[in-house]
Amino acid sequence: MIKLIITPKTKIFDLLEAYPQLEDVLIAAAPPFKKLRNPVLRKTVAKITSLSQAATIGGVKVEDLINTLRTEVGQKTTDSIVVEHGHYVTEQPDWFKNSNVAEIIDIREILNAGEQPVHEVLSAVNKLENNKILKVIAPFIPAPLIDKSLSLNYKHWLDKKGEEEFWVFFKI
């Protein structure tokens, strides 16, 4: 009996609840996944992060990640997988001006407190005045947050500052 069909939309939390043995497989797939061992992140980020988003965070192809996980639990692999999110902007856009950054939210503190930053960040973006920008500091690519902003047609720019520091700028 199959507990859970593994797809790009499968949430990490659901995957690890159904197949706890896949934690080590995920961590082996990409070093950023070692954060899954943190119980706070496991209860927060893992509940909303899909495997497609996790592949982005880990810098791996979603097809490879899904097929590795499926093979491990005896499910058939697939040749192609449609990724659910759009294109992440990683080149500085024309609309960005550092002087227009109106607020900075460091979501590392929110995540460490065991909370989800999505609502706080989106609320801050909605309050931005014309041409103002919100800067978010994150310990990894906040794929669920960027995907949500894309669905709301917000502009964004993802700027990698280091292995565990990413800045995301949002503008309406």
Q: Note down the domain range covering 112.
A: 98-171
Report the distance separating Cα 114 and Cα 44, nearest Å: 6
pTM for this entry: 0.64
Beta bridge partner(s), residue 155:
171
Q: What is the CATH number of the domain that holds 137?
A: 3.30.110.40
Q: Are residues 104 and 44 in the same domain?
A: no
Question: What is the domain count for the chain?
Answer: 2
In this predicted structure, the answer to whether residue 79 has a pLDDT above a threshold of 80 is no
pLDDT tens digits, residue range 94-120? 999 999 999 999 998 888 777 888 889
pLDDT at 80 over 50: no
Q: What is the pLDDT of residues 26-60, one digit of tens each?
A: 999 888 888 888 888 888 888 889 998 888 888 88
The pair phi, psi for residue 77, each rounded to 5°, is -90, 170
- My answer on whether 120 and 164 are in the same domain is yes
Residue 78 lies in a domain: no
> Are 162 and 102 in a shared domain?
yes
Is residue 1, in this structure, part of any structural domain at all?
no
